[in-house]
Structure 1
Amino acid sequence: MSEFLMKPRIDFAFKEIMMDEQARIGFLSAMLRLNPADIRETRVLNTSLRKFHKDKKQGILDVRILLNNDTEIDIEIQLSALSVWADRSLFYLAKMYTEQIHTGQDYTVFKKCVGISILDFDLFKGEREFYSRFHLREDTRQTLFTDKLEFHVVELPKLPKELKEDSDEILLWAKFINAEKKEEFDMLAEKNPYIEKAYEKLQAISRDREKRMEYEAREKAILDHNQMMLEAREGGLKDGLEQGIKAFILDGLEDNLTKERILCKVERHFALTRERAEHYYNLFSAAKDK
Structure 2
Amino acid sequence: METTDRYIRFDWAIKRLLRQKANFGVLEGLLTVLLNEKVEIIELLESESNQQTIDDKFNRVDIKAKNSKGEIIIVEIQNTRELYYLERILYGVAKAITEHISLGERYYEVKKIYSVSILYFDIGIGDDYLYHGQNTFLGVHTGDQLLVSTKEKNAIVSKLPSEIFPEYFLIRVNEFDKVAVTPLEEWIEYLKTGRIRPDTQAPGLAEARRKLVYYNMNPKERHAYDEHLNAIMIQNDVLDGAKLEGRMEGLAEGLAEGKAEGKAEGLAEGLAEGLAEGKAEGLAEGEKNKQIEIARKFKEIGLSTEMIIQGTGLSAEEINAL
* TM-score (normalizing by structure 1): 0.69
Equivalence for 1:96: 96
Deviation at 1:33, TM superposition (A): 1.3
Q: Aligned letter for 2:180?
A: L
Deviation at 1:233, TM superposition (A): 3.4
Q: Please give the per-residue CA displacement for 1:195-251, whole angstroms capped at 9, x wherever unaligned.
A: 110121111675332322222232233223323333333456366422245579999
Equivalence for 2:71: 71
Q: Which runs of 5+ in 2 are unaligned?
A: 52-58, 147-159, 247-281, 299-303
Contact kept, 8 Å, 1:131 with 1:153, in 2: the verdict is yes
Does residue 1:185 correspond to 2:196, yes or no? yes
3-state SS in 2 of match to 1:75: strand
Paired residues for 1:23-172 under 5 Å: 23-35=26-38, 39=40, 41-49=41-49, 60=60, 62-125=62-125, 127-139=126-138, 140-143=143-146, 144-148=160-164, 149-164=166-181, 167=182, 169-172=183-186
Q: Aligned letter for 2:168?
A: F
Taking the aligned partners of 2:102 and 2:175, their CA distance within structure 1 comes to 41
The correspondence for 2:242, drawn from 232, 236, 240, is: 232
Q: Aligned letter for 1:76?
A: E
Contact kept, 8 Å, 1:12 with 1:215, in 2: the verdict is yes
Contact kept, 8 Å, 2:115 with 2:167, in 1: the verdict is yes
- Seen in structure 2, the aligned counterparts of structure 1 residues 247 and 145 have a Cα distance that, compared at 3 Å, is same
Aligned residues: 246
Q: Aligned letter for 2:45?
A: L
Taking the aligned partners of 1:123 and 1:231, their CA distance within structure 2 comes to 18
Q: Aligned letter for 1:173?
A: W
Bigger-Rg structure (1/2): 2
Does residue 1:21 correspond to 2:37, yes or no? no
Q: Please give the per-residue CA displacement for 1:94-123, whole angstroms capped at 9, x wherever unaligned.
A: 111111123222312211111101112343
Q: Aligned letter for 1:191?
A: Q
The correspondence for 2:288, drawn from 239, 242, 248, is: 242
Taking the aligned partners of 1:124 and 1:230, their CA distance within structure 2 comes to 16
3-state SS in 1 of match to 2:233: helix
Taking the aligned partners of 1:195 and 1:90, their CA distance within structure 2 comes to 29
Q: Taking CA–CA contacts closer than 8 Å with sequence separation of 6 or more, which of the two structures ends up with the larger relative contact order?
A: 1
Q: Aligned letter for 1:132?
A: Y
Contact kept, 8 Å, 2:43 with 2:66, in 1: the verdict is yes
Taking the aligned partners of 2:35 and 2:197, their CA distance within structure 1 comes to 25
Equivalence for 1:212: 222
Deviation at 1:73, TM superposition (A): 0.8
Deviation at 1:50, TM superposition (A): 7.4
CA RMSD of aligned residues (A): 3.7
Q: Please give the per-residue CA displacement for 1:133-190, whole angstroms capped at 9, x wherever unaligned.
A: 21111254344434331111111122242133xx2x222211122223xxx4134x53
Contact kept, 8 Å, 1:190 with 1:196, in 2: the verdict is yes
- Seen in structure 2, the aligned counterparts of structure 1 residues 243 and 4 have a Cα distance that, compared at 3 Å, is farther
Q: Aligned letter for 1:141?
A: D
Taking the aligned partners of 1:223 and 1:173, their CA distance within structure 2 comes to 22
Q: Which runs of 5+ in 1 are unaligned?
A: 52-58, 271-276
Moved over 6 A (4+): 247-251
Equivalence for 1:273: none
- Seen in structure 2, the aligned counterparts of structure 1 residues 47 and 214 have a Cα distance that, compared at 3 Å, is farther
Deviation at 1:23, TM superposition (A): 1.4
Q: Matched residues, percent identical?
A: 19
Taking the aligned partners of 2:122 and 2:112, their CA distance within structure 1 comes to 27
Taking the aligned partners of 1:205 and 1:138, their CA distance within structure 2 comes to 51
Deviation at 1:6, TM superposition (A): 4.1
Contact kept, 8 Å, 2:45 with 2:66, in 1: the verdict is yes
Deviation at 1:65, TM superposition (A): 1.4
- Seen in structure 2, the aligned counterparts of structure 1 residues 142 and 128 have a Cα distance that, compared at 3 Å, is farther
